[in-house]
């Protein structure tokens, strides 16, 4: 089910209301949403907006908050060096509240609204930069993604055997939530493979991600990946498809089958709940749309999906998209409170190639050249 006119409308409205088109005006940035948005603009052949958004994210989320006493790049680099390496200090989430101070007691409910850095948001941005590098044949974006891996690996990974923090402070100096994200190591592993492959294909030099790749692989335990969260299930399906595009069948089949089988367990449990039968006001669209995107990814590896029993759930994608395509369902309070992420995720589900498909490296269509300020 494709609806490019609606996807284009959703993305142009998003660009206008969040300040992408106004280089000097106010901007509203959120790293997860913006990562998907970059991919959508690539698919819509609006490389100008993809490039502008990358610039806005780096100059907003790569620098300290306006309400912070600290200023400049969160990496601590000087202005000129920070322009050349905007991801070396990571990127803020973009949450509305300032981060929790080092001596401030954690409030679990409030922590969801506090700024900091999430690893799984950083991997989404790495993927967006890599997709842009491939679409435009500009290796700088792959380089920046690699530098973001280095920053994240250096700070999120700790201990022996290796573990990961779920949330770090804005300057990456201390953990804000010490537990490990369920799929963070897997996301890191797949993303490292992706970035390394692109660097080789673009002739940009070999990224030195061997230690990070090995560490993420060591922490990706099959028994810990099962989930009934629709967004998490969708992530497993997307990672399986990303691996299918990177690996030969002989090398990657076992891991792909494992991810799909794990996702099938979650799908069987999730589909038995009443969630998809609830009214729009009681549903979180972006989480369901993450599942829809994952199901589209699984449909692109049909033999593996059939082996895992995923094929029996593929119709859920049309069910989810069809529900949220009804205009009245996009006027509820729960939709409007998350309008940016909901609009962008719906656009991704309608035009998924920008996010899912690896563009042929070295065949960039864009005449635009990204210039460092």
Q: pLDDT tens-digit profile of 23-78?
A: 777 899 999 999 999 999 999 999 999 999 999 999 999 999 999 999 999 999 99
| pLDDT on residue 361 | 77
| pLDDT on residue 207 | 81
Containing structural domain, residue 184: 62-102+109-220
Extract the residue ranges of the chain whose pLDDT is less than 50.
Answer: 1-2, 366-373
Could you tell me the pTM of the whole model? 0.95
| pLDDT on residue 1 | 43
Q: Is residue 139 part of a domain?
A: yes
CB-based burial of residue 104 (10 Å sphere; 0-12 exposed, 13-18 middle, 19+ buried)? exposed
Q: Is residue 91 part of a domain?
A: yes
Q: Could you report how far apart the first and last alpha carbons of the chain are, in Å? A: 41
| pLDDT on residue 25 | 78
Q: In the beta sheet, which residues pair with residue 118?
A: 167
Q: Is residue 72 part of a domain?
A: yes
Q: Is residue 136 part of a domain?
A: yes
Number of domains making up the chain: 1
Q: Is residue 39 part of a domain?
A: no
- Going along the chain, which residue ranges are E strands? 117-118, 157-158, 163-164, 167-168, 175-177
| pLDDT on residue 373 | 28
Q: Is residue 76 part of a domain?
A: yes
Residue in the block written with tokens 């991919």: 39
Distance from C-alpha of 168 to C-alpha of 114, rounded to nearest angstrom: 11
Q: Is residue 142 part of a domain?
A: yes
| pLDDT on residue 201 | 93
Residues with Cβ < 8 Å from 166, sequence gap 6 or more? 118, 119, 175, 177, 178, 179, 180, 181, 184
């Amino acid at each position: 089910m494709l609806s490019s006119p609606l996807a284009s409308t959703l993305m142009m409205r998003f660009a206008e209301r969040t300040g992408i088109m106004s280089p000097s005006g106010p901007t509203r940035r959120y790293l997860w949403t913006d990562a998907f948005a970059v991919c959508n603009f690539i698919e819509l052949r609006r490389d100008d907006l993809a490039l502008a958004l990358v610039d806005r994210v780096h100059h907003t989320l790569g620098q300290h908050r306006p309400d912070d006493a600290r200023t400049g790049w969160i990496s601590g680099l000087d202005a000129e060096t920070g322009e050349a390496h905007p991801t070396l200090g990571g990127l803020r989430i973009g949450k509305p509240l300032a981060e929790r101070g080092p001596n401030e007691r954690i409030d679990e409910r409030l922590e969801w609204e506090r700024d900091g850095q999430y690893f799984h948001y950083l991997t989404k941005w790495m993927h967006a930069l890599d997709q842009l590098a491939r679409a435009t044949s500009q290796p700088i974006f792959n380089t920046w993604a690699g530098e973001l891996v280095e920053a994240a690996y250096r700070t999120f990974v700790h201990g022996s055997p290796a573990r990961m923090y779920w949330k770090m402070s804005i300057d990456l100096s201390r953990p804000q939530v010490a537990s490990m994200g369920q799929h963070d190591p897997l996301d890191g592993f797949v993303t490292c493979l992706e970035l390394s492959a692109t660097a080789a294909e673009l002739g940009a030099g070999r990224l030195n991600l061997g230690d990070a790749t090995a560490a993420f692989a060591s922490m990706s335990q099959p028994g810990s990946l099962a989930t009934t969260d629709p967004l998490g299930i969708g992530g497993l399906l997307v990672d399986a498809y990303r691996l299918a595009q990177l690996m030969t069948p002989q090398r990657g089949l076992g891991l792909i089958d494992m991810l799909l089988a794990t996702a099938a367990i979650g799908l069987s449990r999730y589909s038995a709940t009443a969630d998809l039968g609830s009214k729009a006001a009681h549903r979180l669209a972006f989480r369901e749309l993450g599942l829809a995107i994952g199901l589209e990814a699984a449909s692109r590896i049909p033999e593996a999906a059939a082996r895992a029993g995923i094929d029996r759930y593929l119709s859920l994608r049309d069910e989810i998209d069809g529900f949220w395509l009804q205009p009245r369902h996009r006027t509820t309070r729960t939709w409007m409170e998350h309008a940016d992420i909901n609009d962008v995720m719906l656009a991704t589900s309608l035009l998924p190639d920008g996010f899912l498909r690896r563009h042929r490296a070295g065949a960039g269509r864009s005449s635009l050249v990204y210039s460092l300020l």
